[in-house]
Amino acid sequence: MEWFYIACGIYVIAAFITDIRSMKIPNRLTLPVTVAGVLAHIIWGGWDGFLFSVAGFAAGFGILFLMYAIGAVGAGDVKLFGGIGAWTGLTFGMHVIIYSVLYAGAIGLVILLFRKDSAKRIRGMAGSLAGFFMLGSLKLVNKEKTLKFPFMLAVLPGFITVFIPGLFP
């Protein structure tokens, strides 16, 4: 049902506003919306709806949890993507993750290019990547030196890209 995606879009906009204001996505937003997504799918789809919703939740939460573990996103983003998956299912949720990561990379690159210490940061990233590939070190992200911006700056356009078919080929 199309209204599931519209409801999820409202959720993403609310998360965008809170993340821009405070760099946090509160549990009082993510948890009730996630539960509502699962319940809505149970009501309208029965057992199949439940499985659709839980698969989306598990994929969104799981992938973002891995990103959280390496320090790339915050815990609110993990729960947010669990909610997106609960409302929209596995396929749509995965596409939102992919586009959000691509948009985040582009935003990070633009920010990096306009900072005064960009050359130093690029050398540091190259050194971290080289250490990862040569030594197998998993410490890719130094949380104290990471470039930070609200991930919702990438998630909202990622959601819109997936939601509006034909917007981007």
pLDDT tens, position by position, 89-131: 999 999 999 999 999 999 988 887 877 665 666 666 666 666 6
**Ranges of the chain with pLDDT below 70:** 1, 116-147, 166-169
Residue 140 has which token pair? Answer: 């890719």
CB < 8 Å & 24+ apart, contacts of 14-17: 15/76, 15/80, 15/152, 15/155, 16/152, 16/155, 16/156
Task: Report pTM.
Answer: 0.81
Q: Are 24 and 76 in contact (CB under 8 A)?
A: yes
Residue 15 has which token pair? Answer: 């998360």
pLDDT tens sequence across 84-96: 999 999 999 999 9
Q: Phi, psi at residue 62, to the nearest 5°?
A: -65, -45
CA atoms within 13 A on the CB side of 69: 7
pLDDT at 124: 66
Residue 13 has which token pair? Answer: 């906009």
- CB neighbours of residue 124 within 10 Å: 13
> Could you tell me which residues come within 8 angstroms of residue 9 by beta carbon, excluding any fewer than 6 positions away?
159, 163
> Could you tell me which residues come within 8 angstroms of residue 60 by beta carbon, excluding any fewer than 6 positions away?
81, 82, 83, 84, 85, 86, 93, 94, 96, 97
CA dihedral 146, 149, 151, 157 (to 10 degrees): -130
Q: How far apart are CA 93 and CA 155, in angstroms?
A: 11
